Structure 1
Amino acid sequence: MVRALSPSSPVAPSSFYALLLLVVAAFIGPLRVATAQSVPAPVPVRVGVILDWANKGSSAVSLRRRTGIQMAVEDYYAAHPGSATRVELHFGDSKGDVVGAASAGKLAP
């Protein structure tokens, strides 16, 4: 049998709600911790980007391209926060040498 709380009852309504909040928090707290621990850390994926910074005419273009690439990666992870990978961009300068830029990936550890 459920009885209504009244001002003369041994448990005041504010105490009842405080106790109810405590019980709910006791169940939700461990659940959130277990969920947070089960999410694996994202796997880093190193990506090399070679741009031409040496030529005066292309440095402004290279800066816009670098900014665009960085923004695209940020936008992707904003739309997919639970992604299993994390792209790490590593920018390099071709110094006007096409062959050197093409072989730069083999030189990186």
Structure 2
Amino acid sequence: MARYGDGYAHGGGPPRAFGSAAAKARAAWQDLGRPGSPLLWGQGYIALSDADKGRDYLRDYYAFTGPFAERIAAGALTTAREVRDFVRGYSDEGCDELVLFPGTADPDEVDRLAEALP
């Protein structure tokens, strides 16, 4: 990332995990004498319209990870408050771009996400 890329894309998890990885990315960037700062991307999953369906989807999608799939499913954001806290946490940790993937195919996910954000 620091030698050839434009930044770091975090694979998901809580804001504190992103913050730790972002600090390492920034340090590597500086160690190589790159100007400016790396772009920092994060991601999360939402399941606002049907929490159980969203978690089931994540368990199935990540089944190849074995028991870790349950941890991923448990991290799905299922309430407006969780979404706001997650977005705020990533912002506080210096995230430049945050992608929130829906865990269901329900188009209402987009509306519910819009309602959840200030």
Task: Give me the TM-score of the superposition, normalised by structure 2.
Answer: 0.30
Structure ID, larger Rg: 1
Q: TM-score, normalised by structure 1?
A: 0.32
